[in-house]
Chains A and B, each alone.
Chain A
Amino acid sequence: MKIFNNRLWKLWIVLVVGFVLNGCVEEKPFTGSEGVPLPENYGILEVEFKLPVYQVIQNGIRRVDLAVCNSMDEMYRDIFFYHSNVSDVKQIYQIYLPEGRFYYQAIITCTCGGDSCIQAGFPYGYGGLKFAFDKVDIIKGEITRSQPSFQ
């Protein structure tokens, strides 16, 4: 028994192909580096926290902090709503933030012996801190990249 005539058969094929193609264009959720889907209005701040190279000291520059706040005023008053766990072996840090303008601060220190740290411009020498900051605009579903530069 023939169920489909020629015209119905073509229509059926078109419907099936259309259904399959529609299934293939599923929108992938926006995810961070751990693959966790982010809330709808969130974007990613990706900071390439490079350690500066000083001629007088090859090693001994260490990352101390990477923190985010809402305004320059908050930064001035040392009020940060987010601090990253920084490491000497990790250079790229991703921070998930809602859409909008933010400010971040990156801090490094010097742990060399002698007066090498003073020669490299670290105030007080060993354990002295250098700061860098930047302003970033987070766009939902996008990665905003930034790189702090130290003097």
Chain B
Amino acid sequence: MNRSIKSGLIYISCLLLIQVSQSCEENIQVLAPPEFIPVVYCLLDPQDSVQTVRVSRVFQDRNQLSVWEQKYDLYLEDSLNKIYLEQIGDQGEHKTWNFSYEKQIRLSNDSVFALTYLFTTVYRPIFSSNYSLYVYFPDTKTMVSSKIQTLSKVQLIDPAFVPGRKIVIDPTQPYVIRWTGATGTSCYQGIFYINFLEEESGQITGKTISMPMTIVLQYSDLPVLDQNVSGIHLLQSLKDHIPVKEGVRRKITTLDFSFYYGGTEIALFANSGMNPKGLEGTVVDFSNLDNARGIFSSISSIQVNGLTLSNQSIDTVAMHPLTKTLNFLSSHEDF
């Protein structure tokens, strides 16, 4: 390489270095200017006769900008009695329900939880129907609004209460939770409740532990959806949820099962935290509200009670290395 090419390359690299170092000098504003951003959550439940709206606001740091904080809290208080739900019928007819103030919840005076109000209305929404939610803040003339179609009804296939049928917990086979897919539903979670008797110093008490399964986010139109829960996972859950106690004997009685299903908006919201970070390095959160953060969606649940475990499963829980220390009695033993 001759000398002129070498000096050319050095010149170009110096220019590049200067350019790069200059581009790094952009001023970053650490604290954004104060701005009133309401946060609204409303999950309509067609199987509940009371609906709730939760109203709050974006919170940065309570120790800073206290004047603004108080002012924003006043804005929130101003929203009392200015929240309503509107149903839009197939023929375009409108019906409205006003929400009234229920209570104030504020878990702590820190930077995580802001002043939060709950509002309720007595109304049972209809499955697969169009609803709009409006929350008005007169001082700032902010109208928060959103429109959704409530989810349609899901049918739980397994577990089901069938006379004589028993649930098997076996390390060699999974338990499969099955349900029918439904329009506008994309978020599902099952919870097993294990009811058992506990004997300690001659005293027998009934206890229940809940074992929530992983949340399923499923957008497909399959007629039947399922979730495999391995036998080992169920045994491990038992071990994780029940404390080991010396001198205590336990006996499994029945199982209950709750199945929650929610609208597509909840699935998108739940997924948004996992999305790649946005251009400015912030996590992109899903919101389907105009002029606010939060979510307006629908949710419902199914309950199955009085399920029984097979004798083989009761023996597995009593004898398996994972759960043996919990002192469960086998199927042929009693207190």
Contacts and interface: CB of A to CB of B under 8 A. Distances in A.
B164 interface: yes
A106 B109 CA distance: 61
A88 interface: yes
B139 interface: no
B167 interface: yes
A59 interface: no
B164 A64 contact: yes
- Classify chain B: how many residues form its interface, as a range: 20 to 34
A90 B170 CA distance: 18
Contacts of B160: 62, 88
Interface string A99-116: 000000001010100000
A87 B178 contact: yes
A65 B310 CA distance: 10
Interface string A101-138: 00000010101000000000000001101000000000
A42 B175 CA distance: 22
B9 to A, nearest CB: 41
Contacts of A129: 164
Contacts of A63: 162, 165
A interface secondary structure, majority = loop
A107 B163 CA distance: 11
B176 A85 contact: yes
A83 interface: yes
Given A65-B166, A111-B163, A83 B178 contact: no
Contacts of A107: 164
Interface in A36-93: 62-65, 80-90
Interface in B156-178: 157-158, 160, 162-168, 170, 172-176, 178
Contacts of B65: none
A83 B166 contact: yes
Contacts of B312: 80-83
Contact of B162 (A80, A89, A109): A109
A109 B224 CA distance: 23
Contacts of A80: 312
A42 B163 CA distance: 33
B163 A65 contact: no
B164 A87 contact: no
Given A87-B176, A88-B157, A127 B163 contact: yes
Interface centre among A86, A89, A111 (most CB of B within 10 A): A89
Contacts of A82: 170, 312
Contacts of B178: 87, 89
Contact of A83 (B158, B168, B174): B168
A142 B174 CA distance: 22
A127 B158 CA distance: 18
Contacts of A96: 172
A111 B165 CA distance: 12
B297 to A, nearest CB: 28
Contacts of A64: 162-165
Nearest to B175: A85
Interface in B276-335: 310, 312-313
A85 B167 contact: yes
Interface string B258-283: 00000000000000000000000000
Contact of A89 (B163, B172, B224): B224
A127 B168 contact: no
20 contacts: A63-B165, A64-B165, A65-B164, A65-B165, A83-B166, A83-B310, A83-B313, A84-B168, A85-B158, A85-B173, A85-B175, A87-B157, A89-B157, A89-B224, A96-B172, A109-B163, A109-B165, A127-B163, A127-B164, A129-B164
Top 9 A-B pairs, shortest CB-CB distance: A127-B163, A64-B164, A62-B162, A85-B168, A64-B165, A83-B168, A87-B158, A83-B310, A83-B312
